[in-house]
Amino acid sequence: MLSSCVRPVPTTVRFIDSLICNSSRSFMDLKALLSSLNDFASLSFAESWDNVGLLVEPSPPHTVNTLFLTNDLTEEVMEEVLQKKADLILSYHPPIFRPMKRITWNTWKERLVIRALENRVAIYSPHTAYDAAPQGVNNWLAKGLGDCTSRPIHPSKAPNYPTEGNHRVEFSINHSQDLDKVMSAMKGIEDVSVTSFSARIDDEEQTRISLNCTQKALMQVVDFLSQNKQLYQKTEILSLEKPLLQHTGMGRLCTLDESVSLATMIDRIKRHLKLSYIRLALGVGRTLESQVKVVALCAGSGSSVLQGVEADLYFTGEMSHHDILDAASQGINVILCEHTNTERGFLSDLRDMLASHLENKINIILSETDRDPLQVV
């Protein structure tokens, strides 16, 4: 009797209910999300040659409900992205690196762009900004070594610093000279900031002028000062460097709290990266029982970062044949794990960190199809 009272729910009702459920899900505007991602790890930390940031943008406004994390964006991964209805792909490696002259169906990277735009999916890549970040890929890689202290091999420079310009010019003016004329001339040059203070030089009261300027403005400053031989001969020009960041930069030099055998270190690295095999080059005179105290590491391709660094072990994804020979000749062991195997595991940590950083405002999912293209057979 009860069953006779049951009526199918109209399609329109189900559709409206679906809309209500979807609208209640959290999301972020793309621009706001990009700003938050930059707060998490500034793109200014990326290497100058890199292509980082927003690479593909659907027409605005664009809202993001699901953020999809992958190490590499391949066509197989793109299929997964579309299946899971993601709105933004965070691809650690930039799928667009070299300039594209056309967008056609002929190459796989062009097809990625087409499919992303057709399906309103944005693409963002942090790459070397995440390598350098204090909570980034290289720090994650160092976690597998055991208890240690680490520092960047090549520290990053502070992206923002109060000092404007990259040169400082300092000179002194006798009170008998036309101070107002000089100050007016300096302040009239674009991209110059000027300060002055009293100073006693050679038992004489003088005004010390200090100014910061760009390279372009420096030539105008020098041109003006050179017109007064006495003034110009006492001028000092300094190159300004932004301060180094203690925990940010490329690679990591790790000093273990306690030395371990190379064999033990190999086991730790395999366990951390979930690998059955790694590639090993023994340093001259070294064995599996040789002690390891200092490890120089770099996620991905480490040749340029690790070159010339004093360590017991180089740990990276890949190195050139001749760089391996050079290291081994110096008694340095080399462990290679293939390029993306030293990066991909970081994405699990990244998912958790971003969820916290973004206050769980959006869904964050990890690719299940992304994998290293090389296999041991």
The band of 85, judged by pLDDT with boundaries at 50, 70 and 90, is very high
- Residues 115 and 150 grouped into a single domain: no
Token code pair at residue 366: 């990890």
CA distance 340 to 370: 10
> Would you say 343 is a known binding-site residue?
yes
The CATH number of residue 181's host domain is 3.30.70.2030
Does residue 333 sit within a domain?
A: yes
The residue out of 182, 210, 239 marking a domain boundary is 239
252 lies in the same domain as 356: no
Q: Are residue 193 and residue 114 in the same domain, yes or no?
A: no
In a domain, 318, yes or no: yes
CB distance 252 to 150 below 8 Å: yes
CB contact at 8 A, 343 and 45: no
126 and 143 within one domain? no
In a domain, 1, yes or no: no
Q: Is residue 8 situated within a structural domain?
A: no
Give residue 164's pLDDT. 64
pLDDT per residue over 250-309, tens digit each?
Answer: 999 999 999 999 999 999 999 999 999 999 999 999 999 999 999 999 999 999 999 999
Quote the domain boundaries for residue 205: 167-239
Q: What was the pLDDT predicted at 12? A: 43
* 141, 277: one domain: yes
Average pLDDT of the chain is: 91
pLDDT higher than threshold 60 for residue 106:
yes
How many domains, the chain?
A: 3
37 and 108 inside one domain: yes
User: Considering 239, 274, 303, which residue would you say is the last residue of a domain?
Assistant: 239
Query: Which CATH number goes with the domain that contains 109?
Result: 3.40.1390.30
**Is 350 part of a structural domain of the chain?**
yes
Q: What is the pLDDT of residues 1-59, one digit of tens each?
A: 333 344 444 444 443 343 334 444 589 999 999 999 999 999 999 999 999 999 999 99
**25: CB partners within 8 A, 6+ apart:** 65, 363
Q: Given a cut of 90, is residue 238 above it in pLDDT?
A: yes
**What confidence tens digit (pLDDT) does each residue in 130-147 have?**
999 999 999 999 999 999
Same domain, 32 and 94: yes
Task: Grade residue 233 by pLDDT with cuts at 50, 70 and 90.
Answer: confident
Identify the domain boundary among 209, 239, 269. Answer: 239
pLDDT at 156: 94
| 323 vs 329: CA distance, rounded Å | 10
Residue 351 maps to a domain: yes
Task: Please determine, for residue 175, whether its predicted confidence score (pLDDT) is greater than 80.
Answer: no
- Please choose, from the candidates 248, 241, 265, 376, the residue with its C-alpha nearest in 3D space to the C-alpha of residue 314: 265
- Mean pLDDT lowest among 11-20, 111-120, 193-202, 322-331: 11-20
In a domain, 376, yes or no: no
The average pLDDT across 223-249 equals 89
Q: Please tell me whether 93 is known to bind a ligand.
A: yes
Whether residue 125 is found in the same domain as residue 33: yes
339: annotated binding-site residue?
yes
pLDDT by residue (tens digit) across 331-356?
999 999 999 999 999 999 999 999 99
125 in the same domain as 32:
yes
Range with top average pLDDT, 7-21, 109-123, 189-203: 109-123
Based on the fold, state whether residues 114 and 148 are members of the same structural domain: no
- Shared domain for 143 and 252, answered yes or no, is yes
Tell me, yes or no, whether 191 and 318 share the same domain. Answer: no
Residue 9 maps to a domain: no
